Structure 1
Amino acid sequence: MASSSSNATQVPLSFSVPSLKEASRLDSDRNDEEKEEIDWENLGFTLTKTDYMYVMKCSRDGNFKDGKLSRHGNIELSPHSGVLNYGQGIFEGLKAYRSAKGSIHLFRPEENAKRMQIGAERMCMPAPSVDQFLDAVKQTVLANKRWVPPHGKGSLYIRPLLMGSGATLALTPAPEYMFLVCVVPVGHFFKEGMEPINLLIEDEIPRASLGGIGDVKAIGNYAPVFMAQKRAKSKGFSDALYIDSVNKRYLEEASVSNLFIVKDGVISTPTKGTILPGVTRKSIMELAHNIGYQVCERLVSIDDLREADEVFCTGTAVVVSPVSSITYQGHRYSYRTGEETVSKKLYTALTSIQTGLVEDNNGWTVKID
């Protein structure tokens, strides 16, 4: 069960324009203490407490309803909740951007809604409908629109979370579920900012296994990478890059991003199955194809890394991040970076759409104010 403080402001959910107008009104209804200036120049990828969050619960009939905006704060969970005891939870990550003209855009939010539904089915959970997901995201962004950075200064990271909130002792799906949406203003994910990153191949700790939940954005997928990340960063690398758990020679993905390699103008990315089907990954593949590149989804081996011209990572958090080098068992492989690379062209094409600098001919952006 979710709880809010006694002075919480709550707004009932309704699928109508007035509900979005009410959410937008909340953004300006703040006390003087909340109107301090925000340092947009020094945003990192860290937590900042914003004003409102969205909470919706699942009824006994398996349907979500009665969603509400409330002041951002802690929630209450039973110590026997399914999410705490058995990891029954999934999350999404998407962003809101402020265009050069000042309007606020979401990028392909329906893809995140659909992916959450697919993940929920795998984890034996009910899920909000696509319309409920989109409405919740829009309300949360509008209620926190002062936290959307100015154009070119960052983005508003949106975290929808679906979890088994009901108590259960037996190893069974939870009897009740909760859907939350919170937001945080963010800058660059990696400390390097826009500079190329360096990866270390992790050959001892697998991220996922065939038939598991590597292709689901389940909360249980992420804590297991902490050790690999820690080891990589202690050696000066930006992140760990994982290989398959069976053959230990096929690349999968990094801790929070998908992987692409470029050889002789052909773009390749590891095939799905044990990797997360990223929304940014999908978008980059479609953009590259539209620009005229050949794009292959296939098994990508360590041998392919040795021959690659370029390597880059993609994800909601990292956007498109060029890779300067990858190290495997003491051998360091370096790649081309800079303004004339494929990754830079794709980064520019993607972010120009996301921030409204060019016309969106794909229908990917959703203007919400």
Structure 2
Amino acid sequence: MAKAKAGDFDWQNLGFEYYDLPYSYHAEFKDGKWQEGKLTENSTIQMSEAANVLHYGQEAFEGLKAYRRKDGGVNLFRPDQNAKRLENSAKRLLMEPFPINKFISAVKEVVRANQDFVPPYGSGATLYIRPFMIGTGKVIGVHPADEFQFHILVTPVGPYYKGGLKPTAYVTSPYDRAAHGGTGQSKVSGNYASSLLPGSIAQKNGYSDVVYLDPRLHENIEELGGANFFGITKDGKFKTPKSPSILPSITKKSLLKIADDFGMEPEETTISINDLDQFSEAGAMGTAAVISPVGSITHNGNKHVFYSETTAGPYTQKLYDRLSKIQNGDEKGPDGWQVDVPLN
């Protein structure tokens, strides 16, 4: 694949897909320590046929974005939280965590090197950043690797869900995203591999994606395919599911704070699939999705419609506007939320 050039892009009409940009970042753990990482023009990864990741799935990853500001600068949004989550995911898979300070520095370095590919302010597009760690030590028996690779790729993307802030339809799934006591709270590849089939079935049936219920009782909402769930009650309160098998979303953590600032009494709590009537609005939230309204959820053949199937509700719009303005640098957020990337 040829390297992309900035002039190749129609920034207003980007999909959510991969482009091979000029630079990535790469570091390796061997001989008991992380070696010095560096930028690389090589977008391929070499490993042994016996690498742990190929057989036992020892892999964790992250997703964050770089945003072009109105003044031409570039913001990251809470990268320290991504660094900490990757550290927790790595520990869950017995991988040597990549140091948090080096993670943030590496992200800044690779964004700066690819700064021409950070989409223009106002285009609705961003530079998506995908850091990941893989076990590359050679294994045949089931045990952790002793060598790892840390890599960051970046690619410009448009909205994850086409149509922008437009409600979409979801359906509950008989499949589980992750086991109770498993790796649901970690951002690891196995969780997503298991979601491919239920997501594909839902899309073939005309839905945007699935709603996963808790793996023990199949009664309580866990996550949406690829994003966390939130609901707005009829009296304007913000609720989101609480469970040990839910991925701790940085977007969710941020919206809990914003909702509190708005006086929406945010709460992480158990939400039964049978109690959807309490909500006037609902949505998906995550780095890729940002905020995407949920127009309806179908469960056991019964369709529940929220505020509208065509228009975002007023609370959802309000939350989206506030979060987007912070991410794009139009409004000041809490300390540490906006991190400037020094450009050349």
Give the TM-score taking structure 1 as reference length.
0.88
Q: Is 1:260 aligned to 2:217, yes or no?
A: no
1:366 corresponds in structure 2 to 339
Q: 1:220 aligns with which of 184, 190, 202?
A: 190
Does residue 113 (structure 1) correspond to residue 78 (structure 2)? The answer is: no
**Structure 2 residue aligned with 1:351:** 324
**1: CA distance, partners of 2:321 / 2:225:** 24
Task: Name the residue aligned to 1:308.
Answer: 279
Task: Judge conservation of contact 1:50–1:72 (CA < 8 Å) in 2.
Answer: no
* CA distance in 1 between partners of 2:67 and 2:7 (Å): 21
- 2:255, 2:210 → 1: CA distance? 22
In the alignment of these two chains, the number of paired residues is 336
Specify every segment of 5 or more residues in structure 1 that has no aligned partner in the other structure, as ranges. 1-30
Could you tell me which of 167, 178, 181 is aligned with 1:208? 178
Name the residue aligned to 1:322.
293
Check conservation: 2:26, 2:37, Cα contact below 8 A: yes
> Alignment partner for residue 188 of structure 1, among 159, 162, 185?
159
Q: Return the letter of the residue paired with 2:319.
A: L
Letter matched to residue 333 of structure 1: H
The one-letter amino acid of 2:159's match is: H
State the 1:68 CA deviation: 1.2
Q: Where in structure 2 are the equivalents of 1:1-369 lying within 5 Å?
A: 34=5, 36-61=7-32, 63-153=33-123, 154-202=125-173, 204-263=174-233, 264-337=235-308, 338=311, 341-369=314-342
Shift of 1:294: 0.6
* Unmatched segments (≥5 aa) in structure 2: none
After superposition, the Cα gap between the structure-2 partners of 1:57 and 1:266, relative to the gap in structure 1 and judged at 3 Å, is same
Determine if contact 1:166/1:176 at 8 Å carries over to the other structure: yes
Give the deviation of 1:35 after TM superposition.
5.6
Determine helix, strand or coil for the equivalent of 2:194: helix
Which amino acid in structure 2 is aligned with residue 168 of structure 1? V
Shift of 1:339: 5.9
CA distance in 2, matches of 1:343, 1:362: 24
Take 1:104 and 1:163, find their aligned partners in 2: how far apart are those partners? Answer: 29
Q: Which amino acid aligns with 2:56?
A: Y
1:294 counterpart SS class: coil
Identity of aligned residues (%): 38
After superposing the two structures, state which structure 1 stretch, 259-268 or 81-90, moved more.
259-268
Q: CA deviation at 1:368?
A: 0.8
Tell me how far apart the structure 1 counterparts of residues 31 and 156 of structure 2 sit (CA, whole Å): 35
Q: CA deviation at 1:303?
A: 1.7
Provide, for residues 257-302 of structure 1, a one-character-per-residue CA deviation record: whole Å limited to 9, x for no partner.
Answer: 0000111211111103111000001000111112211111111101
Q: Is the 8 A contact 1:188 1:194 kept in 2?
A: no
**Cα offsets for 1:71-121 (capped at 9, x unmatched):** 142111111101111000100000000011110000000000001111111
* Equivalent residue letter for 1:334: V
Given the superposition, is the C-alpha separation of residues 248 and 35 from structure 1 closer, same or farther in structure 2, using an over 3 Å criterion? Answer: closer
CA distance in 1, matches of 2:316, 2:42: 37
| TM-score, with length taken from structure 2 | 0.95
Distance 2:79 2:262 in 1: 23
C-alpha deviation, 1:42, in angstroms: 1.4
The letter for the 1-side match of 2:201 is R
SS in 1 for 2:128: strand
CA distance in structure 2 between the partners assigned to 1:271 and 1:359 by the alignment? 29
Runs of 4+ in 1 over 6 A off after TM superposition: none
For the 8 Å contact 2:68–2:119, the answer to whether it is kept is yes
Structure 1 CA distance, aligned partners of 2:74 and 2:28? 27
Q: Secondary structure at the match of 1:46?
A: coil
Residue of structure 2 in register with 1:23 after alignment: none
Maintained 8 Å contact 2:283/2:291: yes
1:356 partner amino acid: G
Asked if 2 retains the 8 angstrom alpha-carbon contact of 1:64 and 1:127, the reply is: no
CA contact (8 A) 1:262 1:309 kept: yes
